[in-house]
């Protein structure tokens, strides 16, 4: 289980520091690697290097489900008042074969809560092997796109694109990327996140 981790870029100074919250599971909590090697820490470093004035709060927990995430979110929103929420949840639901209707409901509630808190939202998609049948795996994959479209929010189609099928980028469990896979994960996420960012030097609105 990952504790709440704050990653504060060196360049994030001033009266108002914008905050990005990552609400995720082990893929974002940095399971099996050093915290500073994870894609969330790499995101914080990239934002600082490119002059974006954001603090990144990693509210990810290893083993988290969509139900656990939505139950924690109100407190996270209250504490950090984020400008952007990155939702990376659902993988554990799929690996456990949980009912997709419940996962959809939990994710929709998560998106609604974040938007009610006036945060921009980026939804991160996931795919699973067909352990529970091809139909379940397909419907699971499509779930994220359907939610993104219904809520008019950007989607990262698959966080592990160009990672999951490359053994050299994965840990021995075949589920979690190793440190070498983390930069690729950030590259997968960046095109969805960048349009949500306030340009460097622009004052907070």
- The residue ranges of DSSP E strands in the chain, in sequence order, are 5-7, 18-24, 54-58, 84-88, 120-124, 155-156
> Active-site residue 173, yes or no?
yes
Is 166 within 8 Å of 129 (Cβ atoms)? Answer: no
Q: Which residue has the tokens 């090697």?
A: 37
- Provide the Cα torsion 111, 117, 118, 119; round to 10°: -50
202, HSE (Cβ side, Cα atoms, 13 Å):
8
Distance CA(106)–CA(100), nearest Å, equals 10
* 110 CB-contact burial (10 Å; exposed 0-12 / middle 13-18 / buried 19+): buried
- Please identify which of the residues 26, 28, 60, 103 carries the catalytic annotation: 26
> Active-site residue 176, yes or no?
yes
Region of residue 14 (phi > 0: left; psi between -120 and 50: alpha; otherwise: beta): left
CB atoms within 10 A of CB 51: 12
Residues forming the active site: 26, 173, 176
């Amino acid at each position: 289980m990952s504790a709440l981790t704050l990653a504060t870029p060196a360049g994030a100074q001033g009266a108002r520091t914008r905050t990005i919250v990552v609400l995720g599971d082990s893929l974002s909590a940095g399971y099996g690697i050093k915290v500073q090697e994870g894609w969330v820490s790499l995101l914080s470093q990239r934002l600082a290097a490119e002059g974006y004035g954001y603090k990144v709060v990693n509210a990810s927990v290893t083993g988290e489900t969509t139900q656990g995430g939505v139950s924690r979110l109100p407190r996270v929103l209250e504490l950090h008042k984020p400008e952007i929420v990155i939702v990376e949840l659902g993988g554990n639901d799929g690996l456990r074969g949980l009912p997709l209707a419940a996962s959809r409901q939990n994710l929709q509630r998560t998106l609604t809560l974040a938007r009610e808190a006036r945060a921009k939202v980026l939804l991160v998609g996931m795919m699973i092997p067909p352990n529970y049948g091809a139909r379940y795996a397909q419907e699971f994959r499509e779930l994220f796109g359907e939610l993104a479209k219904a809520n008019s929010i950007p989607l990262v189609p698959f966080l592990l694109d160009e990672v999951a099928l490359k053994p050299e980028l994965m840990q021995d469990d075949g589920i979690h990327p190793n440190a070498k896979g983390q930069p690729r994960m950030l590259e997968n996420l960046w095109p969805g996140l960048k349009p949500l960012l306030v340009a460097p030097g622009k004052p907070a609105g």
